[in-house]
Amino acid sequence: MLANVRIVLVNPTHPGNIGAAARAMKVMCLERLVLVQPRLFPSAEATALASGADDLLARARVCDTLDAAIDSCGLVIGASARVRNLRWPKIDVRDAAAMVAHRPEADVAFVFGREHSGLTNDELERCHYLMNIPANPGYSSLNLAAAVQVVAYELMMTQAGSQVTGETTGEDLATATELNNFYDHLHRVVLDIGFLDPDSPRQLMRRLKLLFNRARPDRTEINILRGILTAVEGVNRARGSGGV
């Protein structure tokens, strides 16, 4: 149960929050903690706050980048207290947990931001959904470990047999790495064909990523899209060299 779910903390500053997050996870049967460039880890403070969940700390994976932390995930959910300008697909914590409960076959990451500044837009671009914990509109930012606790609790509740609805299961969804490779390819092609002006890129790539993230493509679809890009590159090269 929930073995496919990982909790990713990006750049946590306070070791105590890492420990408290591990405890929050273990009491709700979550096991996989991933840390992206924690300021200090391991640490006595984290172990103290973990209070019996130190086994989970010992098994925590430490990564240099968010991309590495979410590598095999077919579903990536970014937790944010703030409403963003761009139209990220938004979901509340309960619906997110329900969605995960219906997708036991895919690796899933819940990504949490820094204590002081949350997640950057660049990091959120890697997320299929922006997840919010409904709170006081005038004071909506939970402590990092408290936010992990709410997510873990909602996930646990889906396992307890409550009635939940979610999206239907997708087959073999493209992983974060496969999507990133596709975005790199797409970026190269829109530059090559002169559609994207490198001096004035505006929001093109960000909007395209949001579009494809919303579509939740599976592996075959990504392969088709990459095949089209490769064909476009061929035509473009042939034109450049005076061919067809």
Q: Is 113 in the site for ligand SAH (CB under 6 A)?
A: yes
CB of 210 to ligand SAH, least distance (A): 19
Which range binds ligand SAH by CB under 6 A, 54-62, 96-104, 133-141, 184-192? Answer: 133-141
Which range binds ligand SAH by CB under 6 A, 32-40, 46-54, 114-122, 209-217? Answer: 114-122
State which residue, 15 or 113, has the beta carbon closest to ligand SAH.
Answer: 113
Compute CA 95 distance to the chain's CA centroid, rounded to the nearest angstrom.
Answer: 16
> How many binding residues for ligand SAH (CB under 6 A)?
20
Q: Is 84 in the site for ligand SAH (CB under 6 A)?
A: no
Q: Is 11 in the site for ligand SAH (CB under 6 A)?
A: no
CB of 132 to ligand SAH, least distance (A): 5
User: Is 156 strand, coil or helix?
Assistant: helix
Q: Is 13 in the site for ligand SAH (CB under 6 A)?
A: no
Which residues contribute to the site for ligand SAH (CB under 6 A)? 79-82, 112-113, 115-119, 131-133, 135, 140-142, 144, 147
